[in-house]
Amino acid sequence: MAEPRITIRENGSYRVEGDVPLFDHLGNQLHPANPSGYSLCRCGASKNKPFCDKSHAEAGFDGTCNPKYLEPPVAG
């Protein structure tokens, strides 16, 4: 199995590869068609949320942003 990896695609989706389980807001595990590689919507226009259906291209999504490094939370 590939090393887990999440790639932010330019003006597109989050590409998730490797063994990365996916859960909804209630804690239910979602089962993508291809669990070893799937794309998550970040434009909000997908009709198949949370998965990308490539609606970002038609919607003209601009995903330009400046990444910001955040320190990991301190266990307390």
**Chain segment 45-56, per-residue pLDDT in tens:** 999 999 999 999
Nearest to 46 by CA among 20, 15, 12: 12
**Domain spans in the chain, listed from the N-terminal domain onward:** 5-59
- Work out the mean pLDDT of the chain and round it to a whole number: 89
Q: In which band, very low, low, confident or very high, does the pLDDT at 1 lie, cut at 50, 70 and 90?
A: low
What's the pLDDT score for residue 9? 93
66 touches 72 (CB < 8 A): no
Helix (H) or strand (E) holding 5: strand 5-8
pTM: 0.77
For residue 22, pLDDT over 80 is answered with yes
Q: Which two tokens stand for residue 35?
A: 């669990």
Q: In which band, very low, low, confident or very high, does the pLDDT at 35 lie, cut at 50, 70 and 90?
A: confident
